[in-house]
């Protein structure tokens, strides 16, 4: 073992010039690459999906027992679908067609929409570039989504991220309105059924009371009375509950309910987020050193390798 280590050290020492030259070249290439790569700026926003509450089960509230009915139809798009919506082609198309404002016009006067601004094409190629520049992080514990967008100009990064959030709200609102219309129709039918069932339960209770005036003295009759009375109370509570859900569904169908809450609006980045020049230099040096070791290993063992290749 000691002899092998000594042999390795001697081999590295004999080839120190080769190792130094290759590693030095890799360092030079890394420095040039770090200098010529354009600066990148990242705008970040934090949003809270509608119907969720920050906490341990923040993002899964809509799947909990009764969560769907309690929160209204806006929960029919759950927080788990947001990353899919944010990377969808539908959202990308909306962002592409967003008109630029006067501040962006001063930067790129020829741009009319974000598509012109970023040089995108409304196809799968442009969509891939969009996904690469926009990142999504979601926290199940906190129930929040962190969305970021990276590009060469800080003002453009903030503007595009604002367009992404607006497009997300528009997509969710369209889906919410569509689902709310369907849900309100179902709830109206359910309300009619409950009214009929409540009337039947109240009639049964009244008939029981009129037929058994002294039911309170008889334990068996008292149990029957409690059963009839409980049926009336349960259906009455259900009717109130469905009525409230119907009101929520009607509001959702009009698009008046908020779909996301912006906790931190898209910021204007003041510091560059990339390129990470120190990391480029470190990885470049490491890669150069590894390549030099491969070259040395090949040089030291080339005779053996060629001998094995001979027939």
User: 187 and 127, same structural domain?
Assistant: yes
User: 286 and 147, same structural domain?
Assistant: no
Model confidence at 144, pLDDT cuts 50, 70, 90, reads: confident
Domain count, the chain: 2
CA distances from 52 to 68, 141, 241, 250 (A): 11, 11, 20, 20
User: 250 and 115, same structural domain?
Assistant: yes
Model confidence at 259, pLDDT cuts 50, 70, 90, reads: low
Residue 306 resides in a domain: no
Residue 283 resides in a domain: yes
**pLDDT at position 141:** 73
Res. 76: pLDDT tops 50: no
Residue 210 resides in a domain: yes
Bridge partners (DSSP) of residue 139 are 144
User: 73 and 16, same structural domain?
Assistant: no
User: 284 and 247, same structural domain?
Assistant: no
Res. 264: pLDDT tops 90: yes
Measured between alpha carbons, how far is 274 from 106 in angstroms, rounded to an integer?
Answer: 24
Residue 240 resides in a domain: yes
**pLDDT at position 73:** 36
Instruction: Give me the mean pLDDT over the 1-13 stretch.
Output: 79
DSSP 91: H
User: pLDDT digits over 286-299, tens only?
Assistant: 999 999 999 988 88
CA distances from 177 to 37, 80, 253 (A): 45, 19, 4
Residue 106 resides in a domain: yes
Domain of residue 124, residue span: 41-264
Res. 51: pLDDT tops 50: no
User: 289 and 207, same structural domain?
Assistant: no
User: 131 and 29, same structural domain?
Assistant: no
Measured between alpha carbons, how far is 22 from 14 in angstroms, rounded to an integer?
Answer: 15
Residue 305 resides in a domain: no
User: What is the end-to-end Cα distance of the chain in Å, rounded?
Assistant: 33
Mean pLDDT of the chain: 83
User: 56 and 70, same structural domain?
Assistant: yes
User: 189 and 222, same structural domain?
Assistant: yes
User: 253 and 140, same structural domain?
Assistant: yes
User: 14 and 131, same structural domain?
Assistant: no
User: 11 and 145, same structural domain?
Assistant: no
Residue 218 resides in a domain: yes
Is the pTM above the cut of 0.85?
A: no
């Amino acid at each position: 073992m000691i002899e092998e280590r000594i042999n390795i050290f001697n081999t590295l020492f004999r080839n120190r010039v080769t190792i130094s030259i290759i590693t030095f070249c890799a360092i030079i290439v890394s420095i040039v690459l770090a200098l010529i790569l354009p600066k990148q700026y990242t705008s970040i926003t934090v949003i809270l999906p509608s119907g969720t509450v920050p906490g341990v089960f923040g993002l899964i509230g809509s799947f909990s027992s009764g969560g769907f009915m309690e929160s209204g139809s806006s929960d029919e798009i759950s927080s788990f679908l947001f990353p899919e919506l944010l990377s969808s082609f539908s959202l990308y198309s909306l962002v592409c067609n967003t008109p630029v404002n006067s501040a962006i016009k001063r930067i790129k006067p020829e741009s009319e929409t974000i598509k012109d601004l970023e040089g995108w094409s409304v196809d799968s190629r442009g969509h891939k570039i969009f996904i690469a520049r926009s990142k999504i992080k979601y926290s199940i514990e906190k129930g929040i989504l962190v969305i970021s967008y990276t590009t060469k100009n800080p003002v453009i990064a903030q503007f595009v991220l604002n367009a992404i959030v607006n497009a997300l709200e528009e997509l969710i609102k369209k889906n919410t309105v569509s689902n709310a219309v369907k849900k309100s129709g179902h709830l109206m039918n359910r309300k009619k059924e409950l009214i009929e069932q409540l009337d039947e339960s109240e009639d049964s209770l009244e008939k029981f009371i009129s037929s058994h005036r002294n039911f309170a003295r008889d334990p068996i009759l008292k149990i029957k009375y409690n059963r009839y009375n409980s049926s009336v109370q349960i259906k009455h509570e259900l009717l109130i509950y469905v009525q409230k859900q119907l009101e929520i569904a009607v509001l959702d169908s009009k698009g008046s309910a908020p779909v996301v809450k912006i906790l931190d609006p898209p910021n204007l980045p003041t510091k560059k987020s990339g390129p990470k020049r120190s990391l480029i230099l470190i990885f470049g040096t490491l890669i150069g050193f590894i390549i030099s070791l491969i070259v040395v290993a090949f040089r030291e063992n080339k005779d053996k390798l060629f001998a094995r290749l001979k027939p």
